Amino acid sequence: MILNEALSNSLKHAFPDERKGEISVKLIADSDKIIKTNIPEFYSISIKDNGKGLPEGFNPGKGNSLGMTLLTSLAAQLDGNVQIINEAGTEVIVRFKELKYKKRV
């Protein structure tokens, strides 16, 4: 749902008037542990476009759009957060911890 919302926003708003552009999606596994292991602690999903960027005065922290409210809510369900970078287009980064589930039989 997070990917769908972020990609939909890019497709809808980043490239007006049939403007051409690129959208990239990355999934990054990383660890904040002092002793590095091969087991990731955190995951980041990055959705970046090279479109027109966010409108001047847009404040993602104010929840002034349905899309941003949805992204924030979905990230919170994963004990995560959302970061918006508005440089040479828009990048949405959702970072969340690996969810630990009990072993299933």
Which domains are assigned to the chain?
2-97 (3.30.565.10)
CB 94 within 8 A of CB 70: no
* pLDDT of amino acid 41: 77
In sequence order, the 6+-apart residues with CB closer than 8 A to the CB of 22 are 49, 50
Q: What number of other Cβ atoms are within 10 A of residue 99's Cβ?
A: 8
Q: Along the chain (105 residues), what's the average pLDDT of each consecutive run of 10 residues? A: 90 88 91 58 91 82 76 88 91 85 70
Picking from 78, 67, 60, the residue whose alpha carbon sits closest to that of residue 10 is 67
The strands making up 90-97's β-sheet, listed across from edge to edge, are 23-30, 42-49, 90-97, 81-85
Q: What is the pLDDT of residue 50?
A: 96
For residue 62, what are its two tokens? 């104010």
